[in-house]
Amino acid sequence: MRLSQDKLSELIEKHTCVADDVSWNRFSSIPWQDLQPELLTAKERSAIAFVNLIEDHLPGYFTEYMQLFPINPDTPLEACMYNRELYHFLVRWAQEEDRHAHVLTNYQLRAGLMPLEQLQQELACEGRKQFTIKFTEPLQVFTYALLQEKATLLYYKQLHQVVREPVLKFILRLLVKDEARHFAFFSSIVGAHIEEFGEQAIPLIKVVLQDFKMPLHNTLTNYWRRAMITCEAVGGHQYAEASKALAKLIHRWADPAARLQASTMVDSTQKVHAV
């Protein structure tokens, strides 16, 4: 199940056109002079360290996507054409996610949350672990990314609302805008699949929704303990909103039969199994 080359190109061009006009500098755009780390709670400090590790795994994420959408002599020409088009989005997405990781690393260092050598070692130790999405069907890969981006967006919004430290608040506002664009892109591409393939798309989406867990849940040291503290920092994360966003997308694009399937699917999935 694959979108046409023309449709994929249209969606990527639309996203890139917006992204090219929206940028910020991870060094000069941040008001570091306003930093007040004493305003951070212990749980907020833990949350920043945790999301920094998640964001910093970008080499692993990008490697997995390039393996899922390869451009090499062993790949059929038509698939290479499709994957080359998708690469325009992936490389831009990777650059923006790397900026997120880097600015969070800089924040930890400037706020004195962790010594340089210790932070570098932890990022490298966790970053060398392999990441796999588990799915290979393009629609399922995009659905996974949609849920992950929406969950991340929701968390950054919640953290932005509760933190008092001004520089972190400023950074989170930037991250929210980037994650919102990423979510919008994956929504558009999943929506296009639903519009084109209708009822056939729903079972593929259902598998992802039922099995979904956030990246690194099975590799990051002390993931679940750290994730719990990260959620407590914002009073509990509403991950179910990610599945609701997917349901709204299906109802927007699908035909009546697919909408009925989607309603049953979301009702049976009480929440996204995330963190």
pLDDT tens-digit profile of 27-75? 999 999 999 999 999 999 999 999 999 999 999 999 999 999 999 999 9
pLDDT of residue 261: 56
Gap between the Cα atoms of 61 and 229, Å rounded: 24
What's the DSSP call for residue 199? G
pLDDT: which is higher, 250 or 14 = 14
Q: Is the dihedral of CA 245, 250, 252, 257 positive or negative?
A: negative
- Confidence category of residue 266, pLDDT binned at 50, 70, 90: low
pLDDT of residue 267: 53
Task: Work out the average pLDDT over 249-272.
Answer: 55
The structural domains of the chain, ordered by start, are 35-268 (1.10.620.20)
Q: What would the two tokens of residue 197 be?
A: 């393939």
How many alpha carbons lie under 13 Å from residue 78 in its C-beta half-sphere? Answer: 5
pLDDT at 112 over 90: yes
pLDDT: which is higher, 114 or 258 = 114
Gap between the Cα atoms of 16 and 18, Å rounded: 5
Q: How many CB atoms lie within 10 A of CB 22?
A: 11
Are 74 and 66 spatial neighbours (Cβ–Cβ below 8 Å)?
Answer: no
Task: Work out the average pLDDT over 233-242.
Answer: 75
Listing DSSP states for 41-61 in one string gives: -HHHHHHHHHHHHHHHTHHHH
Residue where the block lists tokens 């798309």: 201
pLDDT of residue 263: 53
How many alpha carbons lie under 13 Å from residue 188 in its C-beta half-sphere? Answer: 17
Q: Which of 164, 159, 148, 155 is nearest to 246 (CA)?
A: 148
What's the DSSP call for residue 254? S
Are 51 and 120 spatial neighbours (Cβ–Cβ below 8 Å)?
Answer: no
Task: Work out the average pLDDT over 230-255.
Answer: 73
What's the DSSP call for residue 22? -
